[in-house]
Amino acid sequence: GAVVSQHPSWVICKSGTSVKIECRSLDFQATTMFWYRQFPKQSLMLMATSNEGSKATYEQGVEKDKFLINHASLTLSTLTVTSAHPEDSSFYICSASGGSRTGELFFGEGSRLTVL
Amino acid sequence: GQQLNQSPQSMFIQEGEDVSMNCTSSSIFNTWLWYKQDPGEGPVLLIALYKAGELTSNGRLTAQFGITRKDSFLNISASIPSDVGIYFCPSRSGGSNYKLTFGKGTLLTVNP
């Protein structure tokens, strides 16, 4: 139990286009999901907290108009990188908590974005 | 603000050896979670600790929550090549939101 899945696992896009990444909790309901990004050989940096049915809470320095987050259901959150540029290339990882194992946070497999 | 330190930053060991890594915090933790991240993958939860002094095992892994709630260690016994990866012990805040803040982690390399 407590499986979190991301899609796509990798994506390559042209500069200026928008890319959507999905994060699903497969066997539990997640009222809160988190989005992280990770640059090569660096740690995970929290971008935003996604709350079901309400606006996301962004960390300082993260542009909310650049990284659109939607949490329309208890099992799905999406991150859209708008007007992507090469510097947005990164590894994006979502996480969720919920189900019977309260207090624990489970991560998706990650999505590798490369912007040309 | 809260400071989280992981040590060592990296370790190179031979297959079969035991390894220990630890985390210390400037603030008290209510929960301590240990994760492992393989290259190109998301972190995987290894062990969750909830009580001060708690000692928990998961196969060859053993972790303990310090009595002061400001530190924790993770031991891996009889290491194998697939133990290679980065080990994290993120700090947790935000009450019920379980927001995690990651440190730099410990990079483990196991030589066959």
**DSSP labels for B3-54?**
-EEEE-SEEEEETT--EEEEEEESS--S-EEEEEE-TTS--EEEEEE-STT-
Kindly list the residues from chain B whose CB atom is less than 8 angstroms away from the CB atom of residue A49.
94, 97, 99
Tell me the residue length of chain A: 116
Peptide bond into A40 cis (omega under 30): no
Tokens 């988190």 sit on residue: A34
Kindly list the residues from chain A whose CB atom is less than 8 angstroms away from the CB atom of residue B43.
44, 93, 107
Kindly list the residues from chain A whose CB atom is less than 8 angstroms away from the CB atom of residue B90.
44
CB contact under 8 A, B103 and A43: yes
Return the pLDDT at B11: 96
> Which among B100, B101, B104, B106 is the top mutation candidate for probing chain A, defined by the most A β-carbons within 10 Å of its own β-carbon?
B100
Confidence of residue B64 (pLDDT cuts 50, 70, 90): very high
Q: Which of A33, A31, A16 is nearest to A85 (CA)?
A: A16
Residue A110 to chain B, least CA–CA distance (Å): 5
Buried b / exposed e across A75-114, counting CB within 10 Å, b at 16+?
Answer: bbbbbebeebeeebbbbbbbbbbbbeeeebbbbbbbbbbe
Return the pLDDT at B95: 60
CB contact under 8 A, B48 and A44: no
CB contact under 8 A, A112 and B40: yes
Q: What is the mean pLDDT of chain A?
A: 92
Return the pLDDT at B100: 84
d(CA A23, CA A95) in angstroms, rounded, equals 8
Return the pLDDT at A54: 85
